[in-house]
A = this chain, B = another copy of it.
Amino acid sequence: MSTSPTSSPLKSRDRLVATATKLFYANGINATGIDTVIAESGATKGSMYHHFHNKDGLVAAYLRGEADGWHEAATGVDDSSKGAVERVALMFTIPATAIATDSFHGCPFTNAMVERPADPAIAEIVSDYRRVMAAHVAELIGADPEDTVVAQVVVLYDGGVTGAKQTRSAAPVLTASAMAQELVRAWIEGRRG
């Protein structure tokens, strides 16, 4: 651990998670067999079950990666030199651009809750994601994560993404983005006045 990483491009475990991320998100968790993930990742069954207790373990690793990925994407598109309203708009470009590039298949967390409703590990990862998102929004606009306005922006984000998934169009995200911008504008106004 203290030494430098090996020359190998990616360890078997990481390849498994990377492949699972691609397939689980694009085709669905239940629709993707473990054998497919193993074959496409170039790993073997022994390796898979050496690293993960069962499929649920791989699913959890996938979802944790998605949560981290969202946070990275959100900080990636952010620009702290801009105002709160514009920064919120930037956050909504994440799903908007995904739709434009046809790589959008809805919210991975919603999808996971639908496909694995009974798994408590998943429920907790989803909880974490929502905490991260609330904290991020709070930081963008200079609010407390517990403020009503943060919950409201989250509702709009969820609504935009869900509508986009159902309609296969970016329109709901754009509607939600405009609403969020107006909401934050009014919130700042109300705070100042």
A interface residues (Cβ-Cβ under 8 A, vs B)? 27-28, 30-31, 105-107, 109-111, 113-115, 117, 123, 126-127, 130, 148, 151-152, 154-163, 165-168, 171-172, 175-176, 179
Listed by A's residue number, 30 A-B pairs whose Cβ atoms lie within 8 Å are A28-B30, A28-B115, A30-B31, A30-B115, A105-B117, A106-B110, A106-B113, A106-B114, A110-B162, A110-B165, A111-B114, A113-B165, A114-B115, A123-B168, A126-B166, A126-B167, A130-B166, A151-B175, A152-B175, A154-B159, A154-B163, A154-B172, A155-B160, A155-B163, A155-B175, A156-B159, A157-B159, A158-B162, A161-B162, A162-B162
Q: Binding site of A, secondary structure by majority: helix, strand, loop or mixed?
A: helix
Asked if residues A110 and B105 are in contact (CB atoms below 8 Å), the reply is no
Known: A28-B114, A28-B115, A114-B110. A176 touches B163 (CB 8 A): no
- Chain B nearest CB, measured from A88 CB (Å): 15
> Which of B30, B109, B123, B160 is in CB contact (< 8 Å) with A159?
B160
Residue of B nearest to A148 (CB): B175
Asked if residues B171 and A151 are in contact (CB atoms below 8 Å), the reply is yes
- Chain B nearest CB, measured from A99 CB (Å): 14
